[in-house]
Structure 1
Amino acid sequence: MAQQLSLDLPVRTALGRDDYFVSDANAMAVALVEDWTHWTNGKLIVTGPEGSGKTHLVHVWANLSGAKIIEARELSLDGIPALAQSPVAVENVHRIAENAAQDALFHLHNLILAEGHSLLLTGVGEPKHWGLTLPDLASRMQGTMTAILSDPDDMLLSVVLAKLFNDRQLVPTPDTIPYLVKHMDRSYAAARDLVEQLDRASLAEKKPITRSFASRILRGDATDY
């Protein structure tokens, strides 16, 4: 029997403060973001694995501070003066590569602090491993206070899975998430990929997401959706 083709349905990601669960893995970062008016030199870096909630924290901070949000690779020198007139969050600095974008970030860093505003930056891994080729920028990043989002503990992983299912308007049976937490790879990226696979498999097979269904997907006993 031919299987029904799955469709990419819109995912409504919840990014409010009430949607951000705090555990030992992220408590320090959350506390620092919420205490943003006391950042050393007015700036903070938040680092963590892909899917660990950096963007969510950025939006929490933007709601608190009125900050603008921009991707590091989208920075340009001509846009810096206007951008520096309010707090700014620069996401994914570890992906910045072009010298022009690095120059822009260096000037944004200096100007926004001179204007008395705050700067939040995010990335994966330590700033010294971001591959920055502009020495002055690299030294400023490495000298910035850093909050680290750690790998999830059981409680946080359960909440992350629940949120990912909710973002996709999926309702697994109550015993599904505890089973997944016990048997899946323990990372944010694994949680994101697994929920996406379960979504596609459930749609293709027209079956609810149950413990047994999730077990079969984890074992790989299903078509690659």
Structure 2
Amino acid sequence: MPQLSISLPRLDARGREDFMISGSNATAVGLLDAFPDWPGGRLALVGPEASGKSHLTAMWAGETGARVVAARDLRAADAPMLAEAPVAVEDVDGGTLDEEALFHLWNACATAGNGLLLTGRAAPSDWPVRLPDLRSRLSSLTPARIDDPDDALLSVVLLKLFADRQLSVKPALIGYLLPRMERSAAAAAALVARLDAESLARGEPIGTALARDLLDG
């Protein structure tokens, strides 16, 4: 009888207890935890794709009552309302940004005395912003940088990615994957997704044999 392939829902955990602090992110976490004593009440959280920026932003928002908005959704008319509480704007250098809206939000937060957290991949001075007044303000930001994960953190990232998909794997699999994969959280997410899909297609559990076939094939 053919085995059914059932894709289980992902359970993304975003609390502080679900975030592992290591050498690659400890400085960023420390700067985030220093709120509200950020220089000028503002901070930039930067790092590679899938490095934990959204997790840390959600964690900070949950602990401070901050509002979170994607840069692509930011509108100038919303600035006064958003600035009534601390605000996080995610993915500022993602390619879609109303620069006037961010400039208005910056000023509104300053007037209201509320914190502003901005996230992106590159340093704020490298964000593709043309508005001179906004560009000068962004260049003044203190960057809290998340680096690519070390072995300890990458192991936890892999285990969390599997757990988010309700998958239980043996430590031997993690040990097999670490020296054979690209050293980034984004690569880990892509690899776990491939292993999950291949496991469902073959109807067999995720283990070292499956990983070997996938990585060597």
TM superposition score category, shorter chain reference: over 0.9
- Work out the CA distance in 1 between the residues paired with 2:6 and 2:67: 33
The answer to whether the aligner puts 1:200 opposite 2:201 as a matched pair is: no
Instruction: Deviation per CA, 1:9-66: give whole Å up to 9, x if none.
Output: 4322110000000000000001111121211110100000000000000011001110
The answer to whether the aligner puts 1:218 opposite 2:215 as a matched pair is: yes
Question: Would you identify which runs of 4 or more consecutive aligned residues in structure 1 move more than 6 Å?
Answer: none
Partner of 2:185: 188
Q: Which ranges of structure 2 fall in alignment gaps of 5 or more residues?
A: none
Partner of 1:20: 19
Matches within 5 A, 1:1-225: 9-98=8-97, 101-219=98-216, 221=217
CA-CA distance at 1:146 after TM superposition: 0.6
**TM-score (norm: length of structure 2):** 0.95
CA-CA distance at 1:183 after TM superposition: 1.2
Is the CA contact (8 Å cut-off) linking 1:6 and 1:200 kept in structure 2?
A: no
Is the CA contact (8 Å cut-off) linking 2:5 and 2:203 kept in structure 1?
A: no
- State which drifts further: 135-144 or 45-54: 135-144
Q: Which ranges of structure 1 fall in alignment gaps of 5 or more residues?
A: none
Report the RMSD for the aligned CA atoms in angstroms.
1.5
CA-CA distance at 1:90 after TM superposition: 0.3
Secondary structure, aligned partner of 1:37: coil
- Aligned identity (percent) is 47
The total of aligned residue pairs comes to 216
Q: Letter of the aligned partner of 2:31 in structure 1? A: L
- Work out the CA distance in 2 between the residues paired with 1:21 and 1:116: 31
- Work out the CA distance in 2 between the residues paired with 1:209 and 1:69: 36
CA-CA distance at 1:5 after TM superposition: 8.6
Is the CA contact (8 Å cut-off) linking 2:124 and 2:141 kept in structure 1?
A: no
**TM-score (norm: length of structure 1):** 0.92
- Work out the CA distance in 2 between the residues paired with 1:141 and 1:11: 35
Instruction: Deviation per CA, 1:48-89: give whole Å up to 9, x if none.
Output: 000000000001100111000000110111111111100000
- Work out the CA distance in 2 between the residues paired with 1:209 and 1:93: 37
Is the CA contact (8 Å cut-off) linking 1:80 and 1:108 kept in structure 2?
A: yes
- Work out the CA distance in 1 between the residues paired with 2:120 and 2:50: 11
Secondary structure, aligned partner of 1:93: coil
Instruction: Deviation per CA, 1:104-133: give whole Å up to 9, x if none.
Output: 001101111211100111001112222111
CA-CA distance at 1:212 after TM superposition: 1.6
Is the CA contact (8 Å cut-off) linking 2:8 and 2:166 kept in structure 1?
A: no
Q: Letter of the aligned partner of 1:180 in structure 2? A: L
